Structure 1
Amino acid sequence: MSTSRAASLPHQKRDRLLRTAAREFASVGYERASLNRIIRACGMSKSSFYHYLDSKQQLFELVVEELSDSLLRQLGVPDPQEFADDFWRNARRLLTRLADIAEREPLFTDVGRMFYLPKAPTGKGTAVDGAVAAAERWLDRALEAGRGNGAVRDDLPLDLQRHLAFAVLRAFDEWTLRHLADLDSAESERLMLAQFGTLRRLLAPLQEPEEGE
């Protein structure tokens, strides 16, 4: 949703606007977020803001799109086939990396919360919808590759398997973001390991029982 006008924002002003808006949306929600408060905090005039963006919704879309892309770059998400070459080690590494980034950089915690805000623009064609769809496509390809090399069970339809895995990921993500302020490092680590264990029990091939069991 980034427009050519928004792209012309000087880098320092753009970064401040994205950070300020992400904090505002995450703190008070989409409906209560104040565009005037964001503009004032950034030291911008209204005319300057509207030179680059048309509305609060367009700002929300820009924040989600740009900060989600920035998070993905920091995560260094591998190609699905490369990921599946060592599926479970890479899964644990990726979850650990995500937890480390969230703890170190509150900005990404803010944008994560934006995905779950009531009445925020999340329908078809929005930045949230695009980010979720891209994550689902990546997960589909990773699961398919993992099924091909035996790291992932293949007794379920692929789309159902992806739906279940994505539901687990989103449930852990939403709960963690809501309670992050109450979690210390040790609790965050235990939660990440529980998330990894839940996914592994859900997706790893079923172990054949030993004879006589």
Structure 2
Amino acid sequence: MPRPRFEKLPPERRAHILEVAAREFGALGYEGASLNRILEKAELSKGAAYYYFDDKADLFLAVLLHCWEHLMVEDALRPEVLRADTFWEHLRALYQRQFGLLRQHPWMMGVARAVWTLPPHLRESGPMAVLIERGQALMRGLLVRGRELGVIREDVPEALLGAWVRALDSAGDQWLLEHWEQLDDAAMREHADRVVDAIRRLLTPAQPGGKS
């Protein structure tokens, strides 16, 4: 994890370092990114860098946390804000807000692309695995709350529902990563609608007559 002394830097300086790093990771992937090039562009000496971060992986984790804070997913998915009559519209608004932030801050899209290039040992263990698990825990909480509200089907095991949602979400993200430079605001909103509609159709309990 980034060392506490990094948090003592002025917010503008922290944001500059992290966004320079995000652009490098986004352009070249995790393995291709050069720590020396990041430090040069961020006007940060090696000595200062190791005062704040252990290594490149630690810097990448700081970038991921920076993105996470921008997206504020956890605040938006608190169980008390989710109601049966607004469940899907709330999720739609969340996706649209996140995609809007990606349009405003293209460096975050680069970070999302870089996550797919992480070596397995960074994805499956250590602090980055913990952050990924936080995202999966949010999704599990969403499924539990949806079932409590009666808007998510109960005829399929929760673990399988989670796997289905992750697969849909991953496919949507991959498509977005490949096409986002050609998408305007309206097309980004349309893509958010498309992803949420697919999830809703998959998870909504069947109605009488077998329709969902």
Q: Is the 8 A contact 2:30 2:118 kept in 1?
A: yes
Distance 2:66 2:190 in 1: 30
2-side partners of 1:145 and 1:15: how far apart?
Answer: 34
Separation of aligned partners in 1, 2:176 and 2:113? 10
Q: CA RMSD in A?
A: 2.1
Change (3 A) 1:52 1:141: closer
> 1-side partners of 2:59 and 2:208: how far apart?
53
For 2:161 and 2:44, how far apart are their aligned partners in 1? 47
Structure (1 or 2) with the greater helix fraction: 2
What CA deviation, in whole Å up to 9, does each residue of 1:170-193 have, x standing for no partner?
221122123211223333233222
Cα distance, 1:137 vs structure 2: 1.4
Q: Quote the residue 1:125 is aligned against.
A: 126
Structure 2 match to 1:152: 152
Moved more, 97-106 or 82-91: 82-91
Q: Deviations over 1:103-127 (max 9, x none)?
A: 1222322322232124273222232
Alpha-carbon spacing, 1:100–1:155, altered in 2? closer, same or farther (3 Å) = same
Indicate the residue corresponding to 2:100 in structure 1: 100
Q: Bigger CA drift: 155-164 or 75-84?
A: 75-84
- Detail structure 1 runs of 4+ shifted over 3 Å in the superposition: none
Give the Cα–Cα distance (whole angstroms) in 2 for the partners of residues 84 and 163 of structure 1.
Answer: 24
Aligned residues: 208
Percent sequence identity over aligned pairs: 30
Counterpart amino acid of residue 147 in structure 1: R
Q: Which runs of 5+ in 1 are unaligned?
A: none
Question: Equivalents in 2 of 1:2, 1:48: separation in Å?
Answer: 13
| 1:144-197 CA distance string (max 9 Å, x none) | 121122211111111211221122112211221232112233332332221121
Unpaired runs of at least 5, structure 2: none
1:57 and 1:118 map into 2 onto residues whose CA distance is 9
